Structure 1
């Protein structure tokens, strides 16, 4: 992430708070805290401190069902350099007025704010991300861009825009903790912590996220150049579909060559891959937003909700309405189940 101490003001970030929402991904919390704990042991004294915060001060259940006690409520959170929001994409504030206002107050008074994984959703709803660039996990990007059109989502592992930090997932949070260790204790300490956890590659925050190719064991960055370029064009043209001939032209090859390359690399024709990409975007919005099915259909290039429903049921085995209901069924593991573990 190529951070420097000047990025954060006169002193490194050492007092870290984590604002936990119900159903937050536990992996993101441990990925943040464990490197800092190890750094304290290497230093022989407490360089970093951390505290758990919830909106009301009550316990928070992680998506895995484990409960975590909070040291304070959001209103009482003090003495921290940075506050990271950890949640799933469906998270909402219990108090939609006072709590976002409290975040804006902390930002005005020098506290750096951050969102990890789905935590970018409540962070954006507080207003502090308006007009900023932010890292959004590929699994949530379509839903996020629909909900917050005034934010610029990018596919980097992490983004710092001013004093706002957004991190796409758990291992990206681990990388950010390593950078904080480097700032506070130097590169040797960072390297030792990385080796303790067998984390051999310390990635830059500007590195692009790994995105799986549908029905493949490979990721987009491993595709042949023309196929990778076509996939990028498809992902950028979800709402207004683009013709396969036009995609081939933009990729610099003939439609026949694009067809052969796509089938060899993915087992799918370009048109089928594109349709499934649009359905994947639709599913993000079905599962992580409350937009109407009709609005979702138009957002992914379908003329009607009935056509979307037909294709959706064929591919996912349920209608969009059924999928949304299943997503929010109560479960003994926590308030919401089915959230992916994001890295």
Structure 2
């Protein structure tokens, strides 16, 4: 079902949503979907929306906030599901091939598959979204593109293309739930649910994610247009760094003008800011993939691991392998210091 499909009026058939959760999943994303559906039932005066918590093996699954949720095994859930949404940490992959087969079978029988936040990783890994643009949270984008170079990733808060839906974080998950409510019960009730939670605007699939641009700046601040255009040029292909002079030439200004514009907007030189972009992308790949250090270095435009390691340590206070070892230690001990987006 395409979210842009028009209907002659609100539908009142019961909608059943399954949430396939894995250890370390972002709890905020789950509650951001369930709570609007619950509120819609209350306002409407009838249980139009039902939901089920599923996991690969069933039993208790612990969220990123270290709170456990009881689940049913995904393979044992035989009832109809209109939607089946994957929620997980970005390091999660489906452990049992039979789970992916179950999801594909459901898709063939009309279940809309989707994912929120890190759930896009197991969704694509299992081959459940071939050729479908995926909304990937900005903090996972470099890691996602490194893991799935042939999968289209977008910067939108939502992507709803036919039978696959993806949302880039908890707020986007709330918007997704509102769209489900709008389809079933109409725009007026969806708007009332949004107002219940003081959610000011129901975003659709044509809104780009908000991305932090300036360290220490006002969260609402935006880069000046000239600097933003330069950042897009620096970011276009991190594996092939673009010289400052070439960026200035493409913008029709001198390198000195570009330098002054960056200093005013960011407090950094263009080259320093471009290196920061490359280091942030490198850290994503180190933390959320198993790529070798030299492969990560090459992915962000370094020809040797030594220089890459020097810049990485300067940026994050530890070497790439030390950073990965620390994050893996946290995971083994049950902590997940990754964004619960």
Smaller-chain TM-score bracket: over 0.9
Asked if structure 1 preserves the Cα contact closer than 8 Å seen for 2:40 and 2:189, the reply is yes
- Within a 5 Å distance, the mapping from 1:120-269 to structure 2 comes to 120-218=120-218, 222-269=222-269
Q: Which moved more, 1:100-109 or 1:77-86?
A: 100-109
Q: Which residue does the alignment assign to 1:110?
A: 110
Structure 1 pair 292/273, CA: closer, same or farther in 2 (3 Å)? same
* SS class of match (1:130): coil
Q: Which residue does the alignment assign to 2:46?
A: 45
Structure 1 pair 133/13, CA: closer, same or farther in 2 (3 Å)? farther
Asked if structure 2 preserves the Cα contact closer than 8 Å seen for 1:312 and 1:319, the reply is yes
Asked if structure 1 preserves the Cα contact closer than 8 Å seen for 2:14 and 2:47, the reply is no
> Displacement, 1:5?
4.8
For residues 196 and 269 of structure 1, what CA distance do their matches in structure 2 show? 45
Q: Which residue does the alignment assign to 2:337?
A: 338
Question: Alignment RMSD, CA only?
Answer: 2.0
Asked if structure 2 preserves the Cα contact closer than 8 Å seen for 1:137 and 1:168, the reply is yes
Structure 1 pair 221/154, CA: closer, same or farther in 2 (3 Å)? farther
The alignment of Structure 1 onto Structure 2 pairs a total of residues equal to 336
Structure 1 pair 218/271, CA: closer, same or farther in 2 (3 Å)? farther
For residues 328 and 238 of structure 1, what CA distance do their matches in structure 2 show? 26
Asked if structure 1 preserves the Cα contact closer than 8 Å seen for 2:159 and 2:205, the reply is yes
- Within a 5 Å distance, the mapping from 1:281-320 to structure 2 comes to 281-320=281-320
> Displacement, 1:187?
1.5
Structure 1 pair 248/152, CA: closer, same or farther in 2 (3 Å)? same
For residues 129 and 3 of structure 1, what CA distance do their matches in structure 2 show? 17
Q: Which residue does the alignment assign to 1:57?
A: 58
Asked if structure 1 preserves the Cα contact closer than 8 Å seen for 2:25 and 2:64, the reply is yes
Q: Deviation per CA, 1:286-323: give whole Å up to 9, x if none.
A: 00000001100000001111111111111100111010
Q: Which moved more, 1:303-312 or 1:99-108?
A: 99-108
* SS class of match (1:329): helix
Structure 1 pair 185/168, CA: closer, same or farther in 2 (3 Å)? same
* SS class of match (1:75): helix
Q: Which moved more, 1:218-227 or 1:25-34?
A: 218-227
* In the alignment, structure 1 residue 18 sits paired with structure 2 residue 14: no
Asked if structure 2 preserves the Cα contact closer than 8 Å seen for 1:13 and 1:82, the reply is no
Structure 1 pair 326/143, CA: closer, same or farther in 2 (3 Å)? same
Structure 1 pair 52/263, CA: closer, same or farther in 2 (3 Å)? same
Asked if structure 2 preserves the Cα contact closer than 8 Å seen for 1:15 and 1:82, the reply is yes
* SS class of match (1:171): helix
> Displacement, 1:36?
0.5
Asked if structure 1 preserves the Cα contact closer than 8 Å seen for 2:21 and 2:54, the reply is yes
For residues 125 and 214 of structure 2, what CA distance do their matches in structure 1 show? 31
> Displacement, 1:339?
1.0
For residues 141 and 113 of structure 2, what CA distance do their matches in structure 1 show? 20
Structure 1 pair 330/237, CA: closer, same or farther in 2 (3 Å)? closer
Structure 1 pair 220/311, CA: closer, same or farther in 2 (3 Å)? farther
Structure 1 pair 221/13, CA: closer, same or farther in 2 (3 Å)? farther
> Displacement, 1:139?
0.4
* SS class of match (1:160): strand
For residues 216 and 129 of structure 2, what CA distance do their matches in structure 1 show? 34
* SS class of match (2:53): strand
Q: Deviation per CA, 1:34-74: give whole Å up to 9, x if none.
A: 0000000000010100110000112110001000001x211
Structure 1 pair 218/298, CA: closer, same or farther in 2 (3 Å)? farther
> Displacement, 1:251?
2.4
Structure 1 pair 191/222, CA: closer, same or farther in 2 (3 Å)? same
- Within a 5 Å distance, the mapping from 1:80-99 to structure 2 comes to 80-95=81-96, 97-99=97-99
